Amino acid sequence: MVIELQSTDDARDVVHRAVQALAEGKLVGFPTETVYTIAASTMQPAACERLSALKGGLAALSAQPGELALGVKGIGEALDYIPEMSALGKRLARRCWPGPVTLVFDSGHRESLIRRLSPRVQNVVAPGAQLGLRAPAHPLLQEVLKLLVGPVLLTSANRPGETEPQTAQEVVRTLTDEVALILDDGPCRFGQPASVVRIENCQYAVVRPGVVSEQNLKRLASQILVFVCTGNTCRSPMAELLCRKLLAEKFGCPLDKLEDHGIIILSAGIAAMMGGRPTQEAVDVMRDDFALDLSGHTSQPLTEQMIRQADHLFVMTHSHQQAILSEFPEAADRTRLLSRDERDVSDPIGGPLELYRRCAEQIEAALRSWVAELTT
């Protein structure tokens, strides 16, 4: 059966029909942002085995990490299956999901929820002791994941050696006998497979090129540090520039080459306007005391995307920390005061040059205590 999503009157009914079909052990074809995929419920061992057989069986899948992947809602659920996910794995999951990237991890942790699945399903889900995870961005599949008990097993809706389908009609032509229900949402947005990335501790490798290029993956894998104050005109831009200086010294590279070492440094303000200039006193202190040029800085507000993608959010005061966590409590483990002694870095705005100088010295001293950790 094929259901055209664009002509249906009740999208919720389509979601419930898909959930019911999966719960009954049937294979269901879904649109995603990449290509059309086939899903099976991990609560149905026979359905998972049929999906495995469709892709050439366990021997073929062991040689193709990520060809079958658990469909999860996001990083929170992923951590149930990879309890000791590395900082790099969390970084890529946070930045790439929901989206067109499958992450492959070792699946041997004894506390992984994969141990609660049927042994028959475990054999299919983690061939070669490697587990692929993906959080697709298509809203229909996300809604199904919310309602279904347990995750789904996903793979592209094609046989080995065939092109991945970009339309439901292609799925119908090749797999109509195997798939009980196909949901048609027109051509897929990207029309090419998801990138498959293998994570091992602090290293990653592209197993299969896809939508996200290696260049973009390199940037997504970088550590992102965000320094936060109120207006982003003195404290946080001074911290950004001083951090660049200290890390460049550690790496022995120019300030503008830090990204080659996998570190991106930004600053923003909780109440900042876009495009404001730094205070003249901050410019003068950076130039005269540290030989750094702050004159080209322009202010920017702290955004939800920055908060979601940052590995470290360094705030100047307790009130900045409270403001962020009141709206984004999930960022608690990444948001910290810049000063390890829990002292606020007070705002020097409106004060004399000497106040700015003391502020910059406090910031630099605090940064020196973080540098070793930021490069490991």
Q: Mean pLDDT throughout 163-186?
A: 93
166 and 315 belong to one structural domain: no
Share of the chain above pLDDT 70, in %: 99
**DSSP conformational letter for 301:** B
pLDDT tens across 287-309, in order? 999 999 999 999 999 999 999 99
Q: Which structural domain range is residue 84 located in?
A: 2-212
pLDDT of residue 376: 47
Nearest by Cα to 182 from 190, 173, 191: 173
Among the listed residues 106, 284, 344, 347, the single catalytic one is 347
pLDDT tens digits, 41-88: 999 999 999 999 998 887 777 778 889 999 999 999 999 999 999 989
The sign of the CA dihedral 220, 267, 272, 270 is positive
- My answer on whether 255 and 206 are in the same domain is no
Q: Which letter does DSSP use for residue 138 in this model?
A: -
Which candidate in 229, 234, 243, 359 is catalytic? 229
Average pLDDT, the chain: 93
228 DSSP β-pair partners: 268, 315
Contacts with 214 (C-beta within 8 Å, 6 or more apart), sequence order: 206
What pLDDT score does 250 carry? 92
From the candidates 95, 134, 198, 235, give the one annotated as an active-site residue. 235
Mean pLDDT across 151-172: 94
Identify the pLDDT of residue 375. 56
Provide the terminal-to-terminal Cα distance of the chain, rounded to the nearest Å.
53
DSSP 310: -
Examine the pLDDT at 107 and tell me if it is beyond 90.
no
pLDDT digits (tens, 9 = 90+) for 184-215: 999 999 999 999 999 998 899 999 999 999 99
Answer yes or no: 235 catalytic: yes
**Position 108 confidence tier, pLDDT thresholds 50, 70, 90:** confident
- Whether residues 82 and 166 fall in one domain: yes
Catalytic annotation present for 234: no
The CATH number for 309's domain is: 3.40.50.2300
Please state the φ and ψ torsions of residue 135, each to the nearest 5 degrees.
-115, 95
pLDDT at res. 28: 97
- Asked whether residue 217 is assigned to any structural domain, the reply reads no
How many folded domains does the chain comprise? 2
In this structure, the answer to whether residues 206 and 133 fall within a common structural domain is: yes
**pLDDT tier for residue 372 given thresholds of 50, 70 and 90:** confident
Residues 169 and 243 in one domain: no
**Rounded CA separation 176/355 (Å):** 73
321 lies in a domain?
yes
347 is catalytic: yes
